[in-house]
Amino acid sequence: MIKRLDLKYTAIGLALAVIIGALISWFSSLPFWVSFAIVVVAMVLNGVLAEYEDNLPGGFNNPMSVDERKIENEKRKKRILSIRIVIWAVFVSILIWLAWLYTNKSV
């Protein structure tokens, strides 16, 4: 659904883009219009990303039920446990490798 743009917020956003673009142009060797375009594209991408995240399950526009939250927490705990196991396996493997190098060094 397309929302009606509020002129006040549009003017504030453009003013911020002009100010930030001018600052980037001042502190770098970029022309003003290039830095202004970079700022506008960054602001648009930020808005699109925020809208996408808000619409995901559990986001601001799509809150999870209590049961869904419990299921997600269980999945997260399993992922964290598997990551910890991999980290410990890599750490122990490095220690074993270092011990092997120490005992088999040629002098």
pLDDT digits over 60-76, tens only?
A: 887 877 787 788 889 98
> Residues 3-28: what's their mean pLDDT?
87
| pTM given for the model | 0.54
**Distance of alpha carbon 35 from its chain centroid, rounded?**
23
Lowest-confidence range among 17-26, 35-44, 55-64? Answer: 55-64
Looking at residue 29, what DSSP letter applies?
S
Q: 16 CB contacts (<8 Å, ≥6 apart)?
A: 43
> Model confidence at 3, in pLDDT bands (50, 70, 90)?
low
Phi, psi at 89, each rounded to 5°: -65, -40
What are the sequence ranges of the domains in the chain?
1-63, 65-107
pLDDT at 20: 94
Structure tokens at 58: 């559990």
* C-beta atoms surrounding 13 within 10 Å: 15
Q: Residue count of the chain, please give it.
A: 107
